[in-house]
Amino acid sequence: MSFVENTPSIILASQSPRRCELLSLLGLPFTRFVTRIDEQRQPGETPLDYVLRLSREKARAAAQKCDQPGIVLAADTIVVDGDDVLEKPASEGEAWTMLTQLRSRSHVVYTAIAVLNQLGELDTEIAQSRVPMRDYSDEEIADYIASGDPFDKAGGYGIQNADFHPAGGFSHCFANVMGLPLCHLTRLLRQSGIEPPADVPAACQSHLVYSCPVYKGILRGED
């Protein structure tokens, strides 16, 4: 299916405004259907297993509860520092702890994407990006926390925040760290016979004002 009018609607199982923003760049019709699952990490579960499970469970939960026909897309993003999975901070203190922990060091962001097609077939992709954080000051942390931006973001930061700009020397998939790696998603949609009408790498880079060094390899099927 290469034409939008012949393409099944995508049902985005997410309430994230950033995922809506990024998904719109593909030029495909989509609607949102938000459902909730238990996101507690299970004992002994690795970060990769954890993020993949959450994306799959979100897709299945949305498919079960939504009566609209279409392809269900779900995603989950985690920030991993060593053995720690950093969730969204619940308080200023938690945000401060996370941001000081990540400062001047590199960590990894994983996003798992799950697509459940109309035949009930579930396919997944996972993107992994190493994020080097700059040596921001305590004053910058305090100002950023006061802005309220950290509290709906895993790890307590938004890489796209122009005032805080937490990362330095980043050279991977920017959209992944925002929550929806579009070239990985394009690979996944192609498995369901859907070709986005937009030039996805060009649209993504223009929107994010970022020259991506990895999109060609990702679209070729490299990790």
List C-alpha distances in Å: 215 to 50, 101, 186: 25, 30, 11
Question: Which residue type sits at 156?
Answer: G
Cβ neighbors of 146 (< 8 A, separation 6 or more) are none
Is the Cβ–Cβ distance between 182 and 200 less than 8 Å?
yes
- Crossing angle for the helix pair 182-191 and 200-208, to the nearest 10 degrees: 160
Type and span of the H or E element at 206:
helix 200-208
- Dihedral Cα 64, 67, 71, 72, nearest 10 deg: -40
Given a contact cutoff of 8 angstroms between Cβ atoms, the answer to whether 172 and 214 are in contact is: yes
Q: Which residues are catalytic?
A: 76
